[in-house]
């Protein structure tokens, strides 16, 4: 089941006997749908969705097993998630072409969705999309990294079951950082660096969102869903056809520049060139979570794609 305790801010939509949590804001001719990263929920768009809702109908949701959404043990790849999204859009009546916005692994899901249902997509904004080349043909080093991620996710599930994660996050959100970090180091060893980085990203979100995030990661199913997604990352990366162009579909790819001296990732540049209306922009001071580091830029890129997509939407209607 999805998160208990803190009430879902949106509504629960039934899809094939499961509940999927959806947050909807705004109105307009265009519908903008947000897809979160590999272990994130709709909350990760908290600094962006409301502002986009000023000029479009918006929808963010929690994928199976994350946030307030029920788990779906059989779903673990980008294609599985894309198929689930298609069913969700049908359930909420979003039948006109949409603008898809995806972060990291969510960017891969967006691409797979567009490849499978091109007629349903009016434009795309990919925010620091996962680099497929790193995972299609996995090197021994990458395989070891992935294995550690899966191991830590499963260990996190055990710690969540024992209540240790809940304790650590409760202390953290109350301002006590020393004990949670100690717990993380004891339980995860070198993996505590990942915990520290995650905590740093969470702290960029509105403070009112912290309790919900803590609640989500206090539950076993969140960690198990993350483990399944990580295990299947090479399969997911191979699900996208690298030869398929994007025609004149409006596309923006936002590449983080904080760790690359302000330059775009080469794969991001190549992907943008697949469309006659594609463009890769660099967020010079942003890290991987661009929507938290530079939400202004992300909102403006979405605004541009929505404007370009107007022609597609007019032709459809």
Which pLDDT tens digit goes with each residue over 111-135?
Answer: 999 999 999 999 999 999 999 999 9
100 and 65 both lie in a single domain: yes
Distance of alpha carbon 125 from alpha carbon 110, whole angstroms: 9
Mean pLDDT estimate for the chain: 85
Residue-wise pLDDT tens digits, 66-118 = 999 998 866 689 999 999 999 999 999 998 999 999 999 999 999 999 999 99
Q: 261 burial class (0-12, 13-18, 19+ CB within 10 angstroms)?
A: exposed
10 Å Cβ neighbour count for 95? 11
In a domain, 3, yes or no: no
In which band, very low, low, confident or very high, does the pLDDT at 152 lie, cut at 50, 70 and 90? confident
Distance of alpha carbon 124 from alpha carbon 276, whole angstroms: 13
Which runs of E-coded beta strand occur in the chain? 11-15, 18-25, 31-35, 57-61, 98-103, 121-127, 251-256, 278-283
**Nearest partner of 252 among 271, 273, 276, 280, judged by Cα:** 280
196, pLDDT greater than 70? no
In a domain, 214, yes or no: yes
Q: Could you say which of 208, 233, 258 is where a domain stops?
A: 233
In a domain, 5, yes or no: no
Report if pTM > 0.95. Answer: no
In a domain, 58, yes or no: yes
What CATH number is associated with residue 128?
3.40.50.1820
Q: Could you say which of 213, 233, 253 is where a domain stops?
A: 233
- Average pLDDT over every residue of 235-251: 94
In which band, very low, low, confident or very high, does the pLDDT at 153 lie, cut at 50, 70 and 90? confident
- Domain total in the chain: 2
Region of poorest pLDDT, from 36-40, 252-256, 294-298: 36-40
Ramachandran region, residue 65 (left: φ > 0; alpha: ψ -120 to 50; beta: rest): left
125 and 152 both lie in a single domain: no
109 and 44 both lie in a single domain: yes
- Average pLDDT over every residue of 163-179: 58
Distance of alpha carbon 129 from alpha carbon 106, whole angstroms: 7
Distance of alpha carbon 134 from alpha carbon 157, whole angstroms: 27
295, pLDDT greater than 80? yes
In a domain, 46, yes or no: yes
Which runs of E-coded beta strand occur in 36-172? 57-61, 98-103, 121-127
171 and 229 both lie in a single domain: yes
Output 209 or 60, whichever has higher pLDDT.
60
Output 5 or 61, whichever has higher pLDDT.
61
220, pLDDT greater than 90? no
Q: Could you say which of 166, 199, 233 is where a domain stops?
A: 233
110 and 227 both lie in a single domain: no
41 and 186 both lie in a single domain: no
**The pLDDT value given to residue 312:** 56
Output 6 or 287, whichever has higher pLDDT.
287
290 and 274 both lie in a single domain: yes
203 and 245 both lie in a single domain: no
216 and 281 both lie in a single domain: no
46 and 126 both lie in a single domain: yes
In a domain, 154, yes or no: yes
In which band, very low, low, confident or very high, does the pLDDT at 258 lie, cut at 50, 70 and 90? confident
Sign of CA dihedral 16, 33, 101, 20: negative
In a domain, 255, yes or no: yes
216 and 68 both lie in a single domain: no
Question: Can you give the residue range of the structural domain that contains 211?
Answer: 140-233
36 and 118 both lie in a single domain: yes
In a domain, 215, yes or no: yes
């Amino acid at each position: 089941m999805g998160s208990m305790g803190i009430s879902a801010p949106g509504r629960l939509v039934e899809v094939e006997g499961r509940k999927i949590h959806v947050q909807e804001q705004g109105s307009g001719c265009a519908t903008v749908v947000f897809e979160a990263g590999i272990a994130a929920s709709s909350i990760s768009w908290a600094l962006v969705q409301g502002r986009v809702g000023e000029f479009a109908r918006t929808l963010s949701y929690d994928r199976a097993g994350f946030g307030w959404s029920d788990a779906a043990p059989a779903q673990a790849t980008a294609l599985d998630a894309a198929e689930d999204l298609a069913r969700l859009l049908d359930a909420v009546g979003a039948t006109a072409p949409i603008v898809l916005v995806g972060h990291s692994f969510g960017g891969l899901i967006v691409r797979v969705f567009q490849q499978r249902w091109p007629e349903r997509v009016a434009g795309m904004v990919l925010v620091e999309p996962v680099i497929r080349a790193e995972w299609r043909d996995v090197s021994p080093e990458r395989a070891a990294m992935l294995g550690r991620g899966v191991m830590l996710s499963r260990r996190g599930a055990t710690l969540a079951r024992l209540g240790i994660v809940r304790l650590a996050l409760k202390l953290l959100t109350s301002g006590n950082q020393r004990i949670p970090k100690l717990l993380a180091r004891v339980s995860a060893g070198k993996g505590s660096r990942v915990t520290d980085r995650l905590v740093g990203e969470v702290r960029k979100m509105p403070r009112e969102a912290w309790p919900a995030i803590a609640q989500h990661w206090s539950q076993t199913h969140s960690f198990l869903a993350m483990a399944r997604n990580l295990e299947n990352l090479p399969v997911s990366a191979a699900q996208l056809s690298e030869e398929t162009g994007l025609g004149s579909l409006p596309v923006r790819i936002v590449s983080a520049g904080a760790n690359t001296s302000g330059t775009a990732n080469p794969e991001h540049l190549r992907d943008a060139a697949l469309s006659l209306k594609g463009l890769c922009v660099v967020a010079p001071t942003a890290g991987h979570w661009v929507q938290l580091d530079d939400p202004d830029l992300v909102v403006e890129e979405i605004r541009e794609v929505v404007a370009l997509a107007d022609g597609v939407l007019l032709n459809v209607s």
